[in-house]
Amino acid sequence: MSSVLQVTKDNFEAEVLKSDKPVLVDFYADWCGPCKSLAPTIDEIAGERADELKVVKIDVDADPEIAAKYGVRSMPTLVVFKEGTAVSGVSGALPKSDLNAFIDDALTKDPAEIARQMEETGKKIVNAIFDKALELGLVTDEDAADKGEALDTLFKTAMMTGALTQDDLQNTGGDPIAVLEAIAAKKNGPANDAENDADLDGGKPSPNTPSAKLKDSFDDAIGNAREKLHDAADALSHVADGLKNPDVQEKLKKDVKGAVETGKAVGKMATQAAKDKMKKFFGGRKR
């Protein structure tokens, strides 16, 4: 019997991310020939290295979200996790000796250092995408305080207003820079379509053309999103200030105490009602 555990999105966190020892994850698919040829080797390693390593497998067709999160694009792909961090990965049906060497190397890596490097890389990527969005006029300097939030708002708003479609995502291959350029092209309107979309005097989109309306809609949506974020921040600030007031704190304590007492009373009533029903049920049964 194989000692390789089948993992799904329902138990991935418990079995992999919160495991008390390193985990080798085999990303496979039932239709994948190399996956099938590698399976016996995975089983052997799972048995031979059970003391130091947990081995699990994930069906990428059944749980594509996990595969996508860790950049799995081909099968089989093997990823080693330590302390909840993916520290190393490799693709292909490796010979057993090469697979053991891969595992040995992965087990020497420091997950905290890997996590730090990933965070730095993520920041660099966000900065590069934000700079491109700024260059295209899709964000402003004011948005630089939280670049990740600004980009998230930008992409969501673009999807809502039609400035970004599924076709755009497919045509760009999901490349964020290309996606930004596609959004900017729709937001600003076609550059050379003077007959249908341009004012012959100024070369600007006519206010009644589809691209101009889309641009206005996009700009309004962005503005509304920013206002809501600012309003939410102000509201949270007022709440925080209010909680510092001793009178408010005292009132909250009394309210909580009253709620607890009410909860206890309701609980006693429910318990007594349940006991009464049980007595009637068992008392009314014939022996």
- Where in the sequence numbering do the catalytic residues fall? 32, 35
Residue 275 CB partners (closer than 8 Å, separation 6+): none
C-alpha neighbours within 13 Å on the C-beta side of residue 260: 6
